[in-house]
Amino acid sequence: MYESDAGLLAPGRAGSPAEAATGDHAFLQALLDAEAALSRARSATGTAPSWAGEAITEAADARRFDVREIALRARSGGNPVIPLVSALSSAVDESVRPFVHQGATSQDILDTAAMLVASRTLALVLGDLDRTAEALARLAAEHRDTPMPGRTLTQHAVPTAFGLKVAGWRSLVLDARDRLRAVRESLPAQLGGAAGTLAAFSADPADPGAPEGIALVAAYARETGLAEPSLPWHTLRTPVADLAGALAFTAGALGKTAADVLVLSRTEIAEVAEGSGGGSSAMPHKANPVRATLIAAAARRAPGAAATLLASLAAEDERPAGAWHAEWEPLRDLLRLVGGAARDAADLAEGLRVFPSAMDRHLGLTGGLIVSERLAAVAAARVGPARAREILTEAARLARDTGRPLTETLAGQPAFAGLDLTELTDPAAWTGCAGPLTDRALERR
């Protein structure tokens, strides 16, 4: 018995708007929309009667067709357009049938449908990215001056501010948004005919080089709402490669936030927590960072799907065997992965809980060592850089070995005579330009 893909093993995209926008019925409707747009474009350019475009558009409703039957029949020709054209032709009056799919090749319709699905899905993703950016902006402003340990190579480095970290997350989200916007605006329709020459679109069969074909491409693009291509791109896969790159970048950009949240929400760190953590089947006490986990999973999977799409750039001849076919599933996977991750990122950002007291407590874990860089700069002004480094290196070693505060191991050093070491080793006072940098980042819209 056939059952549709309900997303049982894909909680990241299950129930997301992107899932519905990329499902089999959505793709089927996009294929029909591409066919209907072609018929209307032919009517608009005088290469088909107006009544034909109207009739085909009326019949092009996915609810009238059996998507599973079309999928099974697609095996004989290697793509779903061939059986769909047959089914669409049967759904219209006999007088209209000659104008169904007239002059097009299967790749024209499937490529155009894929761009329609991508455009519709990206609109949803962009909405979630805007939600994420807005929530992160509020969080960064609220915690502009909240000090926390900066960590490099897993270790405490120097103090920073949580607001600056969040501003960095937001910056990546905006980078992703800008890339996806640009790609969405450039997604093109596809129309070239059998080998990309537009020969079958002339009003005069005796003159396949007549200009009607080029005019038809422009009309077709208008009818689909997609960009007009300068050339048929059957084997010139820049649109798909650009889309793949932008989607993979978006998954990685959201993955950075997820990676930080996963680290900072560890039990022994607990500087942040998801607003509504997930449960465990075995441990009732757990509140797992599920949103961040699902985003991290998407960020790991996206590059593989993008790699397949980039590999398909090497496509032979005027229309390829295999390279084009290899794109369909990974493109849908990428759209779903990013759509689910964007939905989860917005929920994560809007509900994230922050615990400044834990951050403050962790700043003191090293007994002042976290500000050794700043102390070295103070000492260098008095005894020179080389001697300052020697003093701080030895004092830090003693502090680590003995467990004594850094202020004690520095006591009596001429380099710090007359200075308040307690004040100098206060981590909260040494977050550098974190605040102004956060302000600067939040100016970006």
Distance CA 222, CA 227 (A): 8
Sequence-distant (6+) residues with CB within 8 A of 384 are: none
Q: Please, what's the b/e burial string for 382-397 (b: 16 or more CB within 10 A of its CB; e: otherwise)?
A: ebeeeebeebbeebbe
**280 tagged catalytic:** yes
Distance CA 27, CA 24 (A): 5
DSSP 8-state class, residue 45: T
Euclidean distance between the first and the last CA atom of the chain, given in angstroms as a whole number:
51
Please name the residue that has the structure tokens 């909260």: 428
How many beta carbons lie within 10 A of that of residue 411, not counting itself?
Answer: 12
Nearest to 289 by CA among 344, 342, 343: 344
DSSP 8-state class, residue 1: -
Catalytic residue among 50, 90, 95, 280: 280
**291 tagged catalytic:** no
Structure tokens at 62: 């996915």
The rounded Cα 340 to chain-centroid distance in angstroms is: 9
Distance CA 265, CA 351 (A): 13
Please name the residue that has the structure tokens 């794109």: 327
Distances (CA, A) of 425 to 149, 357, 382, 394, 407: 13, 18, 17, 16, 7
Catalytic residue among 97, 291, 319, 336: 319
How many beta carbons lie within 10 A of that of residue 110, not counting itself?
Answer: 23
What residues are annotated to the active site?
A: 280, 319
